[in-house]
Amino acid sequence: MKMTRRIPIREIEFHPHSFGDQGLRLFRWRGQLYRAVAAERAPAVRKLLGLDAVWRHSGRNTLIETEETPFVLPGYEMVLHHRLVPFVSYPTEWCAAMLKDAALVMLDLAIELARNGYTLGDAHPWNLLIDIERNCAPVFVDFGSISPVYTAEWPAYDEFCRYCYYPLVLMSRGEDQIGRLLMWEDSGVSKEQVVRLAGGSSLRSSVYPPSISRALLAASRKLVPGEYRRALKRRLNAISRQPRGSSGSETRPGGISDQIKLRAHQQFLEGVRRRIEQIPMPRTAPLASKANHAEPIGRLLDRLRPESVLTVGQDAGAGTLLAAKGGINTVAFSTDPGTVASLYQVSRTSSHRILPLVMDPTKPTPARGFADHWSIAAADRLRCDMVLALSFAHEVVTKRGLSFEQTAEGLSTLAKRWVLVEFTGDPVHGAPELRASQRSWYNLENFTHALRSCFRRVAPLPGGSGRSVLLLCGK
């Protein structure tokens, strides 16, 4: 008899994003992530856990590792445990290459599931996370989205287009910012918007879906004699248009129509994958080979050994590489998608653990929706042991018009323990001059005073040069 252990409901915290499906709810308990499964969903989930396709993708780290536990939660029959991904980022914070890789992982999973009679009921990229500890590979985390195939069509295809396919088309045509902003909206990017914004009539053919009728016919060629295919074509067109769950579209194992629909479903997904694969990506940006004050920063990192570092500022690329070379989990904020794409390429092709994100550090992603149900603030999701802010203070004062107090408070919200911030006494070469109103208070003494209002310890780091000073701030 299996021994079970009841989890006290008062000790758990349901995940704010897990509200749409009450039968499969995510929750946190004692620092781990679990999923509660209602009684009516438990048989299907147990069957899914035994599916070879699930284990293969879990072994490839493209589907989050999941296992049944001996725990029970009041009101639920079973509890699953999921591996935790260190940092949660959102698709609106990714560069185009990250979104494309996530879309391909989703399609690869759906194609292999189709071979076993299953599909993905949801197809938005929020179902994936970028795993910093596994070469920034996208991993599919919504285990509850896997469901049986009912039709040759992919019911989630429209959602996939609005949040993956069409944003990628916009990004490939130089409309990166628009594509990312439209993804935030409930409706995502429409076909009409992508045609209007990224190329007019010349783009129309590229955003039409692959033909489901063609996929059905291709799937039938190996199963149906040639003399019957014309009559079958009319029948398949009717089958493909039937709504999900209708009597004519339910799968019946062993039937020839069932085999055709499953094969057509798979071929449709393969056609979508080919279209995504063919979308060209924007160019990457060159990265600085060396960060300012590289030697003293390297010595400090060796001494403090932070578990994670967040880099911000103009030199985020070089600072990121410096931290990552020390084996530290490193998150990078940059407003330049090209820089983010370059860092992502480094993380995918090396042992460096880097999560680069398209984000303005002075305007990080805020919490949205009732009870954070739409997005959790970046300061809560992406806070690191240390913030490395090179060429930052001068940048936010001259370009953003922020005060020293605002700068200190903002850095404090992103750091768990330390901030290493660079102060430059003179305007950086090529940057706008300080305004007259700023010159009266823009000095190291006032900056240090502002930092001390947010940190217990503030001290200059030995090794500064000229008018550039590094200040180590500790909580």
Query: How do residues 185-199 score in pLDDT, each as one tens digit?
Result: 889 999 889 888 876
Handedness of CA 194, 199, 204, 207 (dihedral sign): negative
* Chain center to CA of 434: 38
Confidence of residue 246 (pLDDT cuts 50, 70, 90): very low
Based on the fold, state whether residues 232 and 121 are members of the same structural domain: yes
Based on the fold, state whether residues 16 and 128 are members of the same structural domain: no
Q: Is 394's pLDDT higher than 70? A: yes
Which pLDDT score is estimated for 428?
46
Task: Kindly state whether residue 344 falls inside one of the protein's structural domains.
Answer: yes
Based on the fold, state whether residues 325 and 427 are members of the same structural domain: yes
Which pLDDT score is estimated for 21?
87
Domain boundary among 236, 253, 278: 278
Q: Is 1's pLDDT higher than 70? A: no
Question: Cα(215)–Cα(67) distance, rounded to whole angstroms?
Answer: 35
- For residue 300, give both structure tokens: 């400090």
Which pLDDT score is estimated for 434?
67
Based on the fold, state whether residues 435 and 417 are members of the same structural domain: yes
Confidence of residue 204 (pLDDT cuts 50, 70, 90): low
Q: What is the pLDDT of residues 426-469, one digit of tens each?
A: 544 434 566 766 777 888 999 999 999 999 999 998 865 557 89
Q: Is 110's pLDDT higher than 50? A: yes
Task: Kindly state whether residue 25 falls inside one of the protein's structural domains.
Answer: yes
Based on the fold, state whether residues 259 and 183 are members of the same structural domain: yes
Q: Would you give the end-to-end CA distance of the chain in angstroms? A: 51
Which pLDDT score is estimated for 249?
39
Mean pLDDT of 374-389: 96
Task: Kindly state whether residue 328 falls inside one of the protein's structural domains.
Answer: yes
Confidence of residue 206 (pLDDT cuts 50, 70, 90): low
Mean pLDDT of 128-156: 93
Based on the fold, state whether residues 274 and 184 are members of the same structural domain: yes
Question: Cα(46)–Cα(51) distance, rounded to whole angstroms?
Answer: 9
Task: Kindly state whether residue 288 falls inside one of the protein's structural domains.
Answer: no
Domain boundary among 31, 62, 82: 82
Residue 423 in contact with residue 393, Cβ under 8 Å? Answer: yes
Based on the fold, state whether residues 58 and 109 are members of the same structural domain: no
Q: Where are the beta strands (DSSP E) in 69-155?
A: 71-72, 78-82, 118-120, 128-131, 137-140, 146-148
Mean pLDDT of 368-386: 94
Question: 229 or 443: whose pLDDT is higher?
Answer: 443
**Can you give the residue range of the structural domain that contains 23?**
5-82
Residue 330 in contact with residue 320, Cβ under 8 Å? Answer: yes
Task: Kindly state whether residue 315 falls inside one of the protein's structural domains.
Answer: yes
Give me the amino acid identity at 29. W
CATH, residue 456: 3.40.50.150
Based on the fold, state whether residues 52 and 178 are members of the same structural domain: no
Which pLDDT score is estimated for 429?
44
Q: What is the pLDDT of residues 399-423, one digit of tens each?
A: 888 999 999 999 999 999 999 999 9
Residue 82 in contact with residue 141, Cβ under 8 Å? Answer: yes
Residue 302's CB: how many other CB atoms inside 10 A? Answer: 9
Task: Kindly state whether residue 129 falls inside one of the protein's structural domains.
Answer: yes
Task: Kindly state whether residue 329 falls inside one of the protein's structural domains.
Answer: yes
Give me the amino acid identity at 118. Y
Based on the fold, state whether residues 184 and 325 are members of the same structural domain: no
Q: In sequence order, what are the residues at sequence separation of 6 or more whose Cβ sits closer than 8 angstroms to the Cβ of residue 222?
A: none
Based on the fold, state whether residues 53 and 26 are members of the same structural domain: yes
Q: Is 392's pLDDT higher than 50? A: yes
Give strand pairing partners of 388: 311, 420
Domain boundary among 82, 107, 140: 82
Question: Cα(181)–Cα(74) distance, rounded to whole angstroms?
Answer: 40
Task: Kindly state whether residue 286 falls inside one of the protein's structural domains.
Answer: no
Q: Is 129's pLDDT higher than 60? A: yes
Based on the fold, state whether residues 52 and 107 are members of the same structural domain: no
Q: Is 242's pLDDT higher than 60? A: no
What's the structural domain count of the chain? Answer: 3
* Chain center to CA of 376: 13
Based on the fold, state whether residues 105 and 161 are members of the same structural domain: yes
Q: What is the pTM of this model?
A: 0.88
